[in-house]
Structure 1
Amino acid sequence: MDVDHVRIFDTTLRDGEQAPGCTMTLEEKLEVARQLARMKVDIIEAGFPAASPGDWAAVHEIAREVGTPDGPTIAALARANKDDIDKAWTAIQPAANKRIHTFMSTSDIHLEHQFRKTRGEALELIGEMVTYASSLCDDVEFSPMDATRSDPEYLFEAIRIAIECGATTLNIPDTVGYSTPQEYGDLIAAIRANVPGAEGVVISTHCHDDLGVAVANSLAGVYGGARQIECTINGIGERAGNASLEEVVMALHTREAFYGLKTQVETRELARSSRTVSSFIGVPVPPNKAIVGANAFAHESGIHQDGVLKNRMTYEIMSAETVGLDGNALILGKHSGRHAFRKHIEALGYTLTDEDFQHVFVRFKDLCDRKKKVDDRDIEALIVGETQHTPHIYKLEHVQYSSGMGMVPTATVRLVGPEGESRTDSAHGTGPVDAIYKAINRLINRPNELMEFSINAITEGLDAVAEVTVRIREQGASPSGGSDPTTINLTGKRAAQQIFSGYSVNTDTIVAAAEAYMGALNKMLAVRQERMKAEAVAYAAGYADDPGALPADLFDSGSAG
């Protein structure tokens, strides 16, 4: 075990996606996994295979494509039962480096009220399930959930049993974000000092941000002897989120002299990773976000500006280039050819398929006709927008709107449907965007609720490219004719609603708003189709009561549904 190396365990695709509104399609999960591999994280927790057939398929596909011999370890989460562990094991089979991550609570409040088990029963289950997982996989991680609210002596006993039964990584979750840095660092040090065998395994941190100290707790844990940090891009996750990957990585990178530790993360990929995840889940990065926020390297104060002009180190402890925020001006223009443009985007670190490249190039040419100056921020926004692989069940073919003081905002929309049919409708609204959305809804006729609508300017100036993100929530039809907060699946059970995001960039803000809304709607419709198909397969195979129990061979090449 390399005592100077801190492993980065990314759980964006598991814990991060569990956050309300952070649902991703299979193709989006794959793109995030590819980016995590480019960034050289050590472990990708690809998902929770027992949650649904779609989750199993996503983990399986990530393991197949990203889990190469020289790539990251692919981990899957499993509760402490054989069925979950079996699903996790089959899902990660294609990966060269595999890990099963199983968990069981150790706090009295969880044992009594959630699991209804005694301490003795929980210890017995931990020993049995870690032993079973270890019989399948050489790399097993065990997490005593709610560790920071557990009785320390009982926690030590649970960890000792897990080590004896084959766990190679011990994760210490601050599940509800309750701990403080001093407490958490002391707990990690106490585990190393009091648990037999702890010196031979990797101890990991997993901290939530309910009190705003997830990053501080993670770093305190590392200082106390942990050598793995579990974290997510942009800190997304349950409730207030997880420790932010970019923050813990740059803290260790910038303060290496203090910690004496390193990660293998390629830091120049941090900003790109942040933008990719943000666009997929429809949650903008706050401008004051550390490391990757728009203001992270901005200086407005006269004193600060003076110092930075003389020497950037006066007010910057790291360079923007280190995290991939170069912001170089693009030297290409509307007369540039495909070859030069491809070389430039490759220099930015992007590798596109021929189809994606063609889409981005067409948008680039159009943008050059509309803007006087196009820089790398515009190009990266186009790339993110055009490579999301949002399904096009309905295609926006035409949008026209009229609005102004004293006018009734009106919009006409033409869509091309799944069978290639063209349909047009018009609507009035409180503004042009509202009118467009009402016209689209009349054509698609699938109830949904607009949860969030945000507009950002990618660059400066009146001709700036607008970046629009929308989030919608699927609505079911209630017996009374109104909206229902749940939907009915094929097994007759009610399923919780999901929130879907759409993203677009365009010099015309209203058109960007229409494109973003269509992206969210198409994603909602595609996930609904995948869900119904998976449930139909489960129902036909006799797994109606437990679609998650579907055997692996019911899926074609690991794709969802």
Structure 2
Amino acid sequence: MKNHRKYAREYFVPPVQSFNWTRKEHITEAPMWCSVDLRDGNQALIVPMSLEEKLEYFQLLVGIGFKEIEVGFPAASDTEYAFLRALIENDLVPDDVTIQVLTQSRDHIIEKTFEALTGAKKAIVHLYNSTSRAQREQVFRKSREEIIEVAVSGAELVRSCAAQTVGNFQFQYSPESFTGTEMDFALEICNRVLDVWRPSADNKVIINLPATVSMSMPHVYASQIEYMSEHLNDRDDVVLSVHPHNDRGTGVADAELAVLAGAQRVEGTLFGNGERTGNVDVVTLALNLFSHGVDPRLNLENIPVIRAKHERLTNMKVGQRHPYAGELVFTAFSGSHQDAIAKGMKWREEGERPYWSVPYLLIDPKDIGREYEGDIIRINSQSGKGGIGYILEQHYGFQLPAQLREELGYLVKGVSDRLHKELMPREVYGIFAEAFVNLDSPIEFVDCTLIRQDNYQTAVTVRIDGEVKELIATGNGRLDAISNAMSHNLGMSYANLEYTEHALSVGSESQAVSYIAITDETGRKFWGCGIDADIMTSSIKALFSAVNRMSQYAEPFRLNDRGETAVGLERVISGSGVPSTK
């Protein structure tokens, strides 16, 4: 791109190297979480939430398990002020939850903020002013010392107002635009605020270091955090917090590396809603921890419900490929992926497995309220035999032989490719049933009798083009006798019967399913499937299905220009043409 030279580095590395965090392999415990959905997330909405919507969203956050919730900027609007008062006056904040409010370091805003906080059982007062070189030079046109004075005077007023207001207050300071601030200056201004507030073990101060604009690669942010963590005054009595935005698409990485570098607390939003490209996504962060065997200390066991409520209250949509929560995030269309997942799930069913390790699935979807059916394997033109077989087994109980599964796979993929659509499980079953199950044309099985002497003798009644015929033959087994009756009397030549069967269901309504393959003189193999309450009858129906497919000797799913097929795909898709398995 021709304008790339107009951009230069606008972030600052620490004056001394801080890379101790690189020696840590992973995060071993969850940080403290603070939801900022109701402030940062809300102010990023085209239409901010109403008072009633904010109250409902607050209850959602409490139910998930957030212990710190930033509820707004009470001096910014009547709705924000009224919401805070409603929480306090109606005693809607649980005893183990601390609310947080944001205030600029300006006298009248601080004073109105404490007016709104009167009577709060536990509240964090979040004071901020911008410190970056760009803001100092372009917006405020103030020196470093003048910017420090803004922070210090604000901190002094916060301390004074807190002493005069009924309530229980903890203090938090953010050097807004931290990522664009020289590290020595960021450290100086934070320490000057700490000198005013004098944190203690019983009254810790939160220093929040926001990536107000994400400017660097994540490792630089981590080094900035580690430098601040190692040089802040009263470090044991300081809670070091981060608030990453997602301008470079690295919000989650910034937060994870910041925690490795010493951050103890993370401010973020559900699904990353926030200004510009969004805030750090707490759902992704928490479930990343979960995937490493770390308790995230948030209840995300029903992601579909959380996502639906978030979307309804914010009018924001969660992307289909959003980690963990997206509609398609656990879905595999690729044939090789489907095959590996299906085999991995089968492997888990075969014995006790202490750890989750299914290929292509980072976590068990059921742990967050997602379902295997409809979530994991879905069928389109990219799908393979493994996925198609998995769908039929999970939804309908069929355990197709490998070669039949492969042949069906090509049929299903061809239909999806021509129609340019995903196929639902009932449509996959419809294609299978129309092509292979209980076929009765051109030869319809009517009845048979079997007598065993030295071998089996049979009389098979069939209907061909409306005419009923009786076919007589013998064989060394019941199915062999029936097969001989067809081949000898109808002039059909085939060999190498391959046979397998299984129960399709259990109980009084149980059905048996049989699969038979026959091979014609050219070596071409034809599969048939039979379903019946009687196992012998299901075998006979499977044989007739195979013979009928051979007699037709045409691709049963050759599509015409209208996207129809020789066996009526439109009826299959609508469900009206799906044969009964009863």
TM range (shorter): 0.5 to 0.7
**TM-score (normalizing by structure 2):** 0.53
Given residue 235 of structure 1, which amino acid in structure 2 is its aligned partner? Answer: G
Q: Which residue of 1 aligns with 2:332?
A: 299
| Residue pairs, 1:441-480, within 5 angstroms | none
Distance of aligned partners of 1:275 and 1:69 in 2 relative to their CA distance in 1, 3 Å threshold: closer
1:265 aligned residue (278, 298, 309): 298
Q: Does 1:239 align with 2:276?
A: yes
In the TM superposition, 1:512-531 aligns within 5 A as none
Where in structure 2 are the equivalents of 1:49-128 lying within 5 Å?
49-64=74-89, 68-128=93-153
| 1:328 Cα offset (Å) | 8.5
Matched, 1:318 2:363: yes
Q: CA deviation at 1:106?
A: 1.2
Report the Cα distance in structure 2 between the residues aligned to 1:88 and 1:177, rounded to whole angstroms: 29
Aligned mate of 1:17, from 16, 36, 42: 42
Q: Does 1:276 align with 2:276?
A: no
Q: Any conservation in 2 of the 1:66–1:72 contact (CA below 8 Å)?
A: no
Equivalent residue for 1:227, pick from 264, 267, 273: 264
Q: Aligned match of 1:146 in 150, 154, 177? A: 177
Partner amino acid, structure 1, of 2:173: F
Supply the distance in 2 between the matched residues of 1:60 and 1:130 (Cα, whole angstroms): 23
* Distance in 2 of aligned mates of 1:327 and 1:303: 18
Alpha-carbon displacement from aligned partner over 1:372-397 (angstroms, at most 9, x marks no partner)? x9xxxxxxxxxxxxxxxxxxxxxxxx
**AA aligned opposite 1:227:** Q
Q: Partner residue of 1:332?
A: none
- Supply the distance in 2 between the matched residues of 1:35 and 1:57 (Cα, whole angstroms): 19
Distance in 2, matches of 1:307 and 1:328, equals: 16
Aligned residue for 2:531?
A: none
Aligned partner of residue 288 in structure 1, secondary structure: coil
Are the equivalent residues in 2 in contact too, given 1:34–1:66 (CA < 8 A)?
Answer: no
The answer (yes or no) to whether the contact 1:43–1:73 under 8 Å persists in 2 is yes
Contact 1:191/1:198 (8 A) holds in 2: no
TM-score (norm 1): 0.55
Deviation at 1:270, TM superposition (A): 4.0
Aligned residues of 1:192 and 1:199 also touching (Cα < 8 A):
no
The structure showing larger relative contact order (alpha-carbon pairs under 8 Å, at least 6 residues apart) is 1
Q: Is the 8 A contact 2:50 2:79 kept in 1?
A: no
1:249 corresponds to? 286
Task: Give the share of equivalent positions with the same residue, in percent.
Answer: 27
Q: Which residue identity is paired with 1:185?
A: A
SS state at 1:9 partner: strand
Change (3 A) 1:66 1:325: farther
Question: How many angstroms apart in 2 are the aligned matches of 1:115 and 1:27?
Answer: 37
2:429 equivalent in structure 1: none
Q: Which runs of 5+ in 1 are unaligned?
A: 330-372, 374-460, 464-561
Task: Give the number of aligned pairs.
Answer: 327
Look up the SS of the partner of 1:70 in the other structure: coil
- Structure 2: gaps of 5 or more residues: 1-27, 163-167, 200-204, 346-357, 375-425, 427-572, 576-582
Deviations, residues 199-224 of structure 1 (Å, cap 9, x unaligned)? 32111111111110011101111110
Q: Which moved more, 1:299-308 or 1:60-69?
A: 60-69
**1:117-516 → structure 2 map (5 Å cutoff):** 117-135=142-160, 136=162, 138-166=169-197, 168-256=205-293, 262-312=295-345, 313-326=358-371
For the residue of structure 2 that corresponds to 1:50, the secondary structure is coil
Question: For the structure 1 residues 67 and 124, does the alpha-carbon distance in structure 2 shift closer, same or farther, using more than 3 Å as the test?
Answer: farther
How far does the alpha carbon of each residue in 1:8-56 deviate from its partner, in whole angstroms, 9 at most, with x for none? Answer: 1111111111214152111111111000000011211111111111211
Deviation of the 1:130 alpha carbon: 1.7
Paired with 1:134 and 1:233, the residues of 2 have a C-alpha distance of 32
* Whole-angstrom distance in 2 between the partners of 1:223 and 1:264: 18
What amino acid is the match of 2:370? Answer: L
Q: Which amino acid aligns with 1:152?
A: M
Counterpart Cα distance in 2 of 1:6 and 1:193: 18
Q: In 2, are the aligned partners of 1:67 and 1:94 still within 8 Å (CA)?
A: no
Q: Which amino acid aligns with 1:236?
A: N
Whether the aligned pair in 1 keeps the contact of 2:87 and 2:93 (CA below 8 Å) is no
